[in-house]
Amino acid sequence: MDSHDNKQDGKYSKGLEGIIIGESKKSYIDGERGYLAYSGISIEELAEKSNYEEVCFLLLHDRLPLKDELENFKSELYSYREVPDLTYEIIERTAKYPVHPMTVLRLAVDTLPVYDEETEINTEEANYRKALKLISRIHTITAAIGRALRGEKPIRPKPDLSCAANWLWMHSGKIPSQEEERIFDIVLVIHAEHEINASTFSARVVISSLTDIYSAVSAAIGSLKGSLHGGANEQVMRMLIEEIGTETEIEKFVEKKLKNKEKIPGFGHRVYKNYDPRAAIFKRLAEQIAKKDERVGRWIEIGNKIEKIMIEKLKEKRIYPNVDFYSGIVMYYLGIDIPMFTPIFATGRIIGWVSHILEQLKDNRIYRPRIIYSGEKERKYIPIEMRR
């Protein structure tokens, strides 16, 4: 097969836009309607009535668990929370360097396969266990990184707390209130899964060579770090705190941005042409929080103003706030520092990644596309003395 001999006659879609890579039972997005469902159940219903553990089961098994199934699932999941000593040590030794915490997260996660006696066993059962281990241990790792960034020692997990409560415990050293636990649980649920975005696609591409699950999750973490993927929620908070601050003339601020063709972080989405359902949930949550936190109230006020101006000025473009606009506000309220926002994204999204990886393995074919050779052909090797 010649590099130029292919089904598409030399045409291609940059960034694989519009190209379908296969089938999935994990999530369904209707961008026109502003609708997102995990395994067929809308994110609104899940955020209101479910919890992260149940969503993990749902995404792994494509159905809700029975009562005893959920209990067994939780016991197994919670039993995997401890991480090797080397993992803690690596975090402590590297988090002080001026790199993004996602780099520390990837390095720390990459210590896990060394100590997992099932790393090289690729049966369905072993892979499922590795998926659960990864969910639990990424939680332990991100909490430890959050502390290390402040120069604090890690706090070991508790086996009897929910995922949300355990994370807040490991991060702050305080057992959270029921309200805090509930808010962080919603943060995890909303970040859990979002179809075949760049990090999930990375995970599927990597696992398709039949490497181990750790390698695929590590690739997803590396992808999520990129400024075109995770990271927008950090920019939102920096804009609110550093750029806008006590500024009251929001309209002028937005107009100046638009005039200079600068992007306003937290607005617009390639898929959603209506209100991002995740943004709507976070907004309602932030509005509740605002009743007792003045700063949050002020940020919502700013958000509403920007939203109004954007919708008026860019009517045809249908630009609405996306998940990143209000999520940062909610995380900040929970005492999570801005550099930790993308690691928190990963802490929720780990379930989406491992679910897609296990799904890929069930009906795998290695991803091996083609690329058109656009360089000079049939060049001769010219000895170095004769080159000009």
Residues 270-329 binding a second copy (CB under 8 A) are 270-271, 273
- Minimum Å gap between C-beta 98 and a second copy is 7
Distance CA 146, CA 127 (A): 28
- Determine if 238 is a binding residue for a second copy (CB under 8 A): no
Give the helix/strand (H/E) hosting 189: helix 178-191
- Determine if 227 is a binding residue for a second copy (CB under 8 A): yes
Name the token pair of 55: 């969503």
Q: Pick from 34, 52, 65, 145 the residue near a second copy by CB under 8 A.
A: 65
Give the E-state strand segments of 183-317 in sequence order: none
Q: Which is nearer to a second copy, 208 or 304 (CB)?
A: 208
- Minimum Å gap between C-beta 277 and a second copy is 14
Helix (H, G, I), strand (E, B) or coil at 36: strand
Name the token pair of 213: 């699950």
Distance CA 331, CA 346 (A): 14
CA 221 from chain center: how many Å? Answer: 8
- Determine if 128 is a binding residue for a second copy (CB under 8 A): no
Distance CA 355, CA 62 (A): 9
- Determine if 136 is a binding residue for a second copy (CB under 8 A): no
Catalytic residues: 229, 269, 324
Question: What are the φ/ψ torsions at residue 321 (nearest 5 degrees)?
Answer: -65, 145
Q: Which is nearer to a second copy, 163 or 296 (CB)?
A: 163
Name the token pair of 188: 């995890």
Q: Which is nearer to a second copy, 172 or 355 (CB)?
A: 355
> Which residues make beta-bridge pairs with 37?
28, 42
Angle between helix axes 323-333 and 341-362 (nearest 10 degrees) is 120
Angle between helix axes 294-313 and 250-259 (nearest 10 degrees) is 50
Q: Pick from 56, 168, 206, 302 the residue near a second copy by CB under 8 A.
A: 206
- Determine if 151 is a binding residue for a second copy (CB under 8 A): no
Helix (H, G, I), strand (E, B) or coil at 336: coil
Distance CA 156, CA 53 (A): 20
Question: What are the φ/ψ torsions at residue 202 (nearest 5 degrees)?
Answer: -55, -45
Q: Pick from 125, 294, 312, 378 the residue near a second copy by CB under 8 A.
A: 378
Q: Pick from 76, 152, 195, 337 the residue near a second copy by CB under 8 A.
A: 195
- Minimum Å gap between C-beta 379 and a second copy is 4
**Residues with Cβ within 8 Å of residue 124, at least 6 apart in sequence:** 358, 361
Q: Which is nearer to a second copy, 2 or 262 (CB)?
A: 2
- Minimum Å gap between C-beta 82 and a second copy is 17
- Determine if 330 is a binding residue for a second copy (CB under 8 A): no
CA 58 from chain center: how many Å? Answer: 18
Residues 338-367 close enough to bind a second copy by CB under 8 A: 365-367
- Size, binding site for a second copy by CB under 8 A: 119
What is the x/- site pattern for a second copy, positions 83-112, by CB under 8 A? ---x---x--xx--xxxx--xx-xx--xx-
- Minimum Å gap between C-beta 176 and a second copy is 23
Q: Which is nearer to a second copy, 146 or 231 (CB)?
A: 231
Q: Which amino acid is at 127?
A: N
What is the x/- site pattern for a second copy, positions 11-50, by CB under 8 A? xxxxxxxxxxxxxxxxxxxxxx----x-xxx---xx--xx
Q: Pick from 79, 177, 209, 288 the residue near a second copy by CB under 8 A.
A: 209
